[in-house]
Structure formats: C-alpha cells, structure tokens
Structure 1
Amino acid sequence: MVNVYFTFEPREDLRKPLITEFPQVDFVFDSKLDTEKLRAAEILVTYGEDLKAEHLQYADKLQWIFIASAGIEKMPAEAIASRDIFVSNVRGIHKKPMTESILAHILAYKRALPFVYEQQKKHEWNKKARLSELNGSTALIIGPGAIGSEIGRILQAFDVYTIGCNRSGEQASFMNETHKLDVLKDQLPKADIVISMLPSTAETKHLLTREHFEIMKDSALFMNFGRGDLVKTDTLVEVLTEKLIAHAVLDVYEIEPLPAESPLWEMENVTLSPHFSSHSSRYVERSLDIFKPSLHKWLAGDRDLENKMVILRGY
C-alpha cells in the first residue's frame, strides 16, 4: 500500500470519504510532523511550515510533497530540489475567500463602514463621512494569476477598469489591459486602487520602493495581499506618514506577526489584517478537491498533476 502522511488532521467528515475513495492507500493523520511517521511516507501532505531540511534525512521513501498552501517560502527548497522530490500545491484555492476579503475592504473604505461602526458604538447619529463610489474607477492588479484574475472578474462587475501587470505581459483573464512588470511605473499613475498579489521571490522582494508610491495618485488605495516583503515596512510607514497615498490595506507583512511596537498599528490611514484573508471553513475541503484527482493520477503513474511547482523558482 502507498503511505500518505498528513501533518494536519482534516475533519472527520472529510477524512472518511478520502479513506473510502482510496482503499489502496494507507493514510496517516497527525497534528504535527513526526520523524518516525515521515520515514514510511511516500507522499507528504503539509501546510508547508513544519518541514525543515533536517527532516529530509528521515524521508528516504518520500517522492511527492503536496502543499495545502499557495506559498512555499518557508520550505527547504534546495534540500527538496536536491532530492528531486515532486512538489505541487493548491494554487487557486484562495481565489474565492481572498476576493471576497479584498472586495469587502474596498467597499468598507469607499462606503465608510468603519465610520458607521464607530458611530454605532458611540450611539451617535452622524452623517459627516466621506463616501465615494467604486464604479468608474481603475484598479491595477500586480500579479493577475488565479486570485488576481478572480479579483478582476468581480471588479469588472462593479464597472471597474482593470489593468494587470505580470512577468510576461501576456493577456491575463478579466484584465482590460495586461502589461509587463517592467513598465509598472507607467501604469501606477492611472490607478485608483493598486492591489498586489505577487508571491515572494528574489525578483519581487522589495520590488516597490518609495518612488513607486510617489507616482501613485494621492487618492490611491494600496492593498498588499500577496507577500509582505514586496515593500519595506519603513517605506510603508514613510509613505503613510507623509500621505503620499490616501490609504493602505495590508494583510501581509515583512515580519509576522506584526510587532506590537510597529508604528503601523497607530496610523489612521491603514487597515491591518492578520494574514487571514484566505481563511475559510471550506479551506481543507477545497484542498482535498485538488489533492484527490492528483492522487488518482499519481497512483496510475501519471505525473502531470495540477499545480506542479518548480520549488527553486518559488511557484
């Protein structure tokens, strides 16, 4: 039997159908990574944060790592690559909950919902809020992949003009225009909303500098839902202190959790979310919807699996 080792425990209602569907598989479920159980594993299913380079010395039989996450920056990429272990992930799984989170933040900002909630707490009837509309605006989506394209689809339903920037410049789904990242500075002045969905790679680290914010509209809303090392924290603090843009919504940070002493906590023109915009009660369910067809293929000797990754490239 093929040994599949989960380093997390799916709910019972998800676990039972999985076991029933694959009678030829020996599933092992645990709440953390155990080196003894890893020894027997041919397939490892993990969120990606528990596996360290030193663990691979015990994983003699390991052939495939399925990561129930989109990001792999905390994984021992070089050690995995040196063993030529197959890696795939759940890219695209986050697109529904993340799009809903991003849209919620945009509408809350445009329609002054934080102000509404604050007045309710004070028992005050106060109409002195600055309300604006989403329709008719332009959104620049940096990294219009699976999630970014879904954001574009929803924003277009609100009559938002969408511009995408990616590495290739090839047309992305639900973008009115798509350009190469090389010309990002040409696109930034056009945007009312700038949304980054970029992964963490050597090319994207600190990609955005003060100069990028200086050429944005002073009324712009900047949103980072990709990875926190896109821009230095000190740069963000400067930009927001000097009000080079109107507001920022951050779900990711250079250091996580965001330190309690960070000046970002005290700033009125920033909304801070604790890197949970992708969370959903359906997360593991959607992960298994990707894993199960891939496992059927793997058992049949087919290695053309969904979301195959080049581990050293980072995606």
Structure 2
Amino acid sequence: MRIYFTFEPRPDLKDPLVAEFPEVDFVFENALSIEELQKADVLVTYGEDLDNDNIQYAKKLKWIFVASAGVEKMPAQAIIDRGIVVSNVRGIHKTPMAESILAHILAIKRALPWMYEQQKKSEWSKKAKQSELRDSTALILGPGAIGSEVGRLLQAFGVKTIGCNRTGKEAVYMDDMVSFDGLLDTLPKADIVISVLPKTIETTHLLKEAHFKAMKNNAIFMNFGRGNLVDENVLIQAIENGEIGHTVLDVFEEEPLAANHPLWTLPNVIVSPHVSSHSARYVERSLEIFKPSLEKWMKGERDLENVMDLSRGY
C-alpha cells in the first residue's frame, strides 16, 4: 500500500508513524506531485491541492484523509463518482478554536484592545469601558464539536448558552436549542452571537439584514465557521448602522482579505486571518485520528472515524 502525504510532518511525528506501519510505503512531499498521485492508494492532504484537473490522474486512489475540517475546495462530484472514501479530522479544532473564541470575548469584555492602544501612547487612563461576561447569553450557530466546547467554556463563566442548528436537535453544553427557523426570534436575546457553521447550501448567506437588525446593538458578532454565512456588504452595512457592537471575523467570503477591504478599518472590528484553529499540536492530533483509521483500512474495514458525505459538504 502506498500512502502519499502532500505535506511533511515533523520528524518526531513522521518517524513513529513510519515505524508503526512498516508494511506501508509512505511518501512525504510538501506539494502535490502528479507522478506520486498516480501511484497513491491513499492520499493525506489538507484538501486544497486536489482539484478537478489533477484527480483524473489518481487512478488507484481509494481513500482521501483530509487533515482539515472543510472540504469545499475539493472536487466533490469527481470524488463521489469514483466512490473514493473521504474522512477528515473533525473534532481536533475544538480546543484551539474554543480558546481563540473565548480569548476574543474576554478581550472585548475587559477592554484589552483599548488598553493596548493606551500603552502604545504611554497614556495612563482608567476610562476603559469594561463589562462582565457572567450572566450574559451566547447564541452558538453550529453546536457540534467546536460549538459545544465553546458552550462548555462559556457555561463555566456563568453564561447561558443557546444552540442553533438546522433541526433544533439537542446538543451538549447548550441550555436551550433552536432550529434555523427559530433564529430570527432568538437573536434579540443574545449578547454574543457565534457561528462555527460549515459551508453548505443551507448556510450560504443564512444571516440577512433582518438578522442583524434583530441583534442587540451592543452584541458581539463572531464568525469562526465559513465566510459564506453572510454577504459581506450586508455585514458592513450592519456595522456602519450600529446594529451590532463588536465584530470578530476569522473567515471571509474571499481569502486573503484584500488590503483595501473596508473591514480592516471599520470601528470595533477584529480581523483574524483564518488562524483560530492553528496550534503546534495540529498535525499531532490529526495523526491520532489517522492511525486508528489506517489500522481499520488495512484490515479491510471501512467504518472509519469522520467519514464525510461530500454531497452534504460535511
């Protein structure tokens, strides 16, 4: 069996992997090679290097392991047509992303950005507009692995959590649940609105003008899922009209964000360049999912962890 990685893990992660599976022919490169793709039985990728042009060369490919949660840049239909199994690392992002989200919330509540600016000016001032997180309400769009971890941390701070998904089905660490249909009626209750939704047809421009008008004008709006959630012109209008108090964005409709994009300079907006999931332990956690799945695959089993339904996008 030939397994082709289009990235190279650190030696302390790669060497144990190779030693644990001596019967596997591993190939590690830091870019996708057509020559290697033609020979691969299994492909391990971040998901951005495989496209409709090069997948035609992957004649032997039977399984793609995506070391990422999103697969929107992959040639979904071609993969479906070929019957290739796709699994990913859903769940490994929950710790760094939840910590990133909580860090931004606490920074805003305790006026840390304002303090940093005062320090740059060597100005001693106690006029910071600080508030408490306790006793607030957070609406979490997409209470899956990441959203539920956010909910767990927020509950520890005394925050009421409301989850929102397509069906309204219960999720852990959510005090209440609503469906997408109940979103508009729930938004006025939320002090913090956090989206960690995946990119699907249903989530594309899910939030519209009416949703921002329904939010508290001092609410914190955070998008850490995918940039398709809202038309950025709608979001900019809501910010300029004072319909929300603070905005924290880790994802955008077009990435990287253009240097002249208005979101860079609008007041009370924090731009995070899609780094909330980054961690020194990212590949380590990915391999913790890959190894058990590889053991199953080599035994002929196909009930791998995190098998994806590409027709749904997750």
The TM-score, its normalising length taken from structure 1, stands at: 0.99
Q: Which amino acid aligns with 2:128?
A: A
Q: Does residue 139 of structure 1 match 2:141?
A: no
**Equivalence for 1:262:** 261
RMSD over aligned Cα, in angstroms?
A: 0.7
**Equivalence for 1:311:** 310
Q: Which amino acid aligns with 2:247?
A: A
Distance 1:229 1:181 in 2: 16
Give the match's secondary structure for 2:53: helix
- Cα deviation for residue 168 of structure 1 reads 2.1
4+ residue segments displaced more than 4 Å? none
**Equivalence for 2:53:** 54
Give the match's secondary structure for 1:218: coil
Give the match's secondary structure for 1:107: helix
Q: Deviations over 1:145-164 (max 9, x none)?
A: 00000000000000000000
**Equivalence for 1:121:** 120
* Superposition pairs of residues 57-136 of structure 1, within 5 angstroms: 57-136=56-135
Any gaps of 5 or more consecutive residues in structure 2? none
Q: Does residue 4 of structure 1 match 2:3?
A: yes
Distance 1:54 1:267 in 2: 40
Identity rate, percent: 65
- Cα deviation for residue 169 of structure 1 reads 1.4
Q: Deviations over 1:125-155 (max 9, x none)?
A: 1111100000100000001000000000000
- Cα deviation for residue 264 of structure 1 reads 1.0
Q: Which amino acid aligns with 1:64?
A: W
* Superposition pairs of residues 177-188 of structure 1, within 5 angstroms: 177-188=176-187
**Equivalence for 2:209:** 210
The TM-score, its normalising length taken from structure 2, stands at: 0.99
- Cα deviation for residue 122 of structure 1 reads 1.2
Q: Does residue 291 of structure 1 match 2:290?
A: yes
Distance 1:120 1:132 in 2: 20
- Cα deviation for residue 4 of structure 1 reads 0.4
Any gaps of 5 or more consecutive residues in structure 1? none
**Equivalence for 2:13:** 14
Q: Deviations over 1:31-88 (max 9, x none)?
A: 0000110111000000000001121221111000000000001000011101010000
**Equivalence for 1:150:** 149
Q: Number of residue pairs matched?
A: 314
